Chain A
Amino acid sequence: MTSTMTSAPDIAATPSGQALRFYGLWAIAAIALVVLPLVFSSGGSLTSFSLIGIAIIFALSYNILLGETGLLSFGHAVHYGLGGFAAVHLMNAVAARGWPIPLPLIPLVGGIGGLAFALLIGWVMTRRAGTVFAMISLGIGELVASSSLILRSVFGGESGITTDRTALPHIFGWSFGPQIQVYYLIAFWVFVAAMAMYALTRTPLGRICNAVRDNPGRVEFIGYDPHVVRYLAYCFAGFFAGIAGGLAAVNFEIANSAYLGAVQSGLVLFATFIGGTAYFFGPILGAILVTYLQLGLTNVTSVWQLYFGIIFIAIVMFAPGGIAGLLMMHRPLIRAGTLTMVIPSYLVAALPTLALACGVILSIETVARYTASEGDGNIINLLGIPFNATAPATWVTAAILIVGGFIVGRITWRRIADAWDRAGSIARDRGYLA
C-alpha cells in the first residue's frame, strides 16, 4: 500500500493549476468530513454518516474490480465479512490480553483479514474473467456464507460474535464510546482509503488493470500476464473491503454471518453500478444514495427493496454509466456553452416522467397494501395526497398515470435526443466532444 501512496502525485507533473484543483478537491472533501457532524449533529444523522462512510469504502473497493479491472463479482461481501470477523476477534483478544493496540488500527487488521482470503482464493478465481468469474465469485460467496454457519467457534453461528470497542486501550483520551468519535474514526479511514484507492488507479498497476479490462489479449501481447494483474486487483479489492468490514465491526460492535451474505454482496454491486463505474467518484455517489435510500425508504414503504431493483434495472438499461456517467456526459456541453440548448427539453420531459414514476409507485404500493392486510394499513400517502389502496379510483389513477406518462414521455424523450444531437454537434464543431 505504501508504494501506491508514494507514487500517487504524478499529477504534479501536469500544469500547476490542475494540481491546485486536484489538491483543492481533496482538501474540500477533508473539510466536509470534519464539518458535517458539526452541522448535522443529531444522533440519527451521525449514525447515517457512519454507515455512508463504511459504504463508500466498500463501494470504492468493489470498483477496483468492476470499474477498473472489469471483474463482476457477486461475492465481494466475503472480504467485507471476513474483515469484520478478523477485527472483532482481534478486538476481543486485545481487550482480554491487554495488548497495546488502539482502536483506530483495528480496521487495518480487518483489511488484512480480507486480503488474506483474497490471497488464498484469488489465484483460482481470477484465472478467467467475465461471466465465469462472476459465477465462481457467487459460488465462493455461498461457500463462505454457508461455512460460516458450520464453524461456530469462529463465526458464532446465527447470533454472531459481539465485542466492546471501549474496552480497547484509549488513545488521545478518546474512549470511542460516543458515536461522534466513531464517526471521526470512520471519516479518517474513508479519507485515507479513498486517497489510497485513487492513488492505486494512477499507478502503472492501475493502468494495466484498465488495459486488462479493455483488451486482455493485447496486454498479454505486450508481456503482462492478465491473470496476475487480475489477481493483484482482486487482492487490493479484498484488502479495502476488509477495511470497510473492520469499520463496520467497530461501528456495530458485532460481526455475524449476514456480513458475508449474498444480500451484502448485492447491495455493494447496486451502489457501485448505480453510482457509475467509469469515474472514481461514481461509487461514492452510489454509496451515499443507496445507503440514504436504504435508511430513508425503510420508514416509508415495506417494499423498498423492490424500488432498489427497479432503479437498478432502469440504470442498467438506460444509463449504463450510472449517475456519474449521466453527470459527466454534460461536461463537454458546459465547456462548449451549449448546455442551455438541452435544459428546456429536460424540463419538458420531467413532468410526464414524474407522472410515470408516480404511477408506478402508486401501483406498487397499491398491490403491496392490498395483499398485505385489509384495514387501516391501506392508505397510501403520495406527495401529500392520500390514496385508498382498495378503491378502484386509485387503480384508475395509477393506470392513467402510467399509460399517459409513458405515451407523453416517449415524445418528450425524443425531444431530449434531438436537442442533444444539436447541442452535441455544436460542441463537436467547437472541439469539446470527440
Chain B
Amino acid sequence: MLELIVISTLNGVLFGMLLFLLSSGLTVIFSMMGVLNFAHASFYMLGAFFGYQLTKWIGFWPALVLAPLLVGAVGMAVERYGLRNTHKHGHVAELLLTFGLAFAIEEIVSMIWGKSPVDYRVPTALDFPAFTVFSTNYPAYKIFMLTVSVAIFVALLIALKRTRIGLIVQAALTHPNMVGHLGHNVGRVFMLVFGVGSALAGLAGVIAGPALVTQSDMAALLGPILFVVIVFGGLGSLPGAFIASLFIGLVQTFAVALNGSLASAFGPLDSSVGPSVLSDIWNVTIAQIAPVLPYVLLVLILIVRPMGLLGTRET
C-alpha cells in the first residue's frame, strides 16, 4: 500500500506538472487576450510529433530544443495571421477559429503520421532505472521529465515576477488598454505570449511523447482535461492553474492505480436483481471511472464555487 502511495504520488506530481506546462500557457493567453485557445492541446500534440520526427533525423537533444521553437513559431503565426484578423468579429469567432484549427491539426497529423501510435522512444541516455522504491524500478526518464517541468516552472515564475517583459505581461493581463497607452506594443506582447505559450505546450509534448502514447488523438484526449484544470483553478489565475494541475494530476493517477469498487468494499449485490444502473455503479472500479473524475470535479466546482478555486472574476 505504501509503495502504491509513493509511486502514485510521484506519477501524479509528474502528470500534474505536465498539465501545468500546458495550462499555464492556456490561462495566461486566456486572461490576456480573452481567447480560450482550443488548439492548445493540438500544439502539445504537434510538439510530440515534431519531437518524434526530429529525434529520428537529428537525435533527441537537439529535438528537445528545436521542436518547441517550431511549435512556438506555428503559434505565433496563428496569432498574427489568424486570431488578430478574427479579433474584430468577437471572442466567439476567435474561439471557433481555434476550434477549427484543433480539428484541422488533428487531421493533418493523422494524415502525415497515420492514426496509429508512432514509435517515439525514450532516448537511450535516459533509459535506465533511476532508483528502486520497494520493489518498483522508477525510470530515470520520468525524473528527467519532472526536472524539466520544475525548471520551466521556476523560469516562468522568475520571468513573470522579476523581468521587465514579465511586468508588462502582468500589466497587460488586467489593463491591456492602459499598457497600450503607455506606449508598449500590445499586439507584439500578445504574439510573444501566444508563441511562448505554444512553445511550452510543444515542450510538454516533446518530453511527454516517449512516456505516454504519441498518437493523433492525444490532443482530443488531453484538451478537455486542460479546460477542466483552468476552470477548476479559476480562469486567469496562474496559482489556481498550478494547484488545479497538481490536484487533477494526483486524483487521476491515484484513481487509475486503485482497483476497488463498491462491490469489493461491501460485497456483491444480490445476483437475482439482474443488470441495472445500480449494478453498473456497484461493480465499476475506481480505475474505470478515472476518465470521468475530472468532469465530475468540474460540475462540483461549478455548483459550489463557480469562479473556481482561486478565481476572482466572473468573466
Contact = CB atoms under 8 A, between A and B. Distances in A.
B2 interface: no
A320 B97 CA distance: 10
Given A150-B292, A153-B277, A317-B85, 8 more contacts: A131-B30, A136-B302, A143-B292, A146-B292, A152-B280, A154-B277, A269-B99, A308-B103
Given A139-B224, A153-B280, A309 B315 contact: no
Nearest to B225: A142
B231 interface: yes
B111 A143 contact: no
B277 A151 contact: yes
A105 B303 CA distance: 36
Interface residues of A, number: 45
Contacts of B291: 146
Contacts of B112: 367, 371
B137 interface: no
B93 interface: yes
25 contacts: A74-B99, A124-B302, A125-B302, A128-B314, A130-B315, A131-B30, A131-B34, A131-B36, A134-B36, A140-B298, A142-B295, A143-B295, A143-B296, A146-B291, A150-B284, A154-B280, A273-B96, A306-B104, A309-B101, A312-B103, A316-B89, A316-B97, A316-B100, A320-B93, A371-B114
Nearest to B113: A371
A367 B277 CA distance: 48
Interface string B265-303: 000000000011101110010001101101110110011
Interface in A93-148: 124-125, 127-128, 130-132, 134-136, 138-140, 142-143, 146-147
A74 B224 CA distance: 11
Contacts of A138: 224, 227
A321 to B, nearest CB: 10
B239 interface: no
Given A124-B299, A139-B299, A306 B96 contact: no
A143 B298 contact: yes
Contact of B289 (A150, A320, A368): A150
Nearest to B101: A313
A144 to B, nearest CB: 9
A368 B93 CA distance: 29
A139 B295 CA distance: 6
B104 A313 contact: yes
Nearest to A123: B303
A324 B306 CA distance: 37
A269 B101 CA distance: 14
Contacts of B107: 303, 305-306, 309
Interface string B80-103: 001001100101110111011101
A320 B96 CA distance: 10
Interface string B230-242: 1100010000000
A84 B299 CA distance: 24
Nearest to B279: A153
A39 interface: no
A266 interface: yes
A72 interface: yes
Nearest to A152: B280
A154 B228 CA distance: 26
A79 B292 CA distance: 18
B220 interface: yes
B228 A72 contact: no
A380 interface: no
B108 interface: yes
Contact of B306 (A128, A139, A262, A320): A128
A83 interface: no
A262 B34 CA distance: 24
Contact of A153 (B276, B298, B314): B276
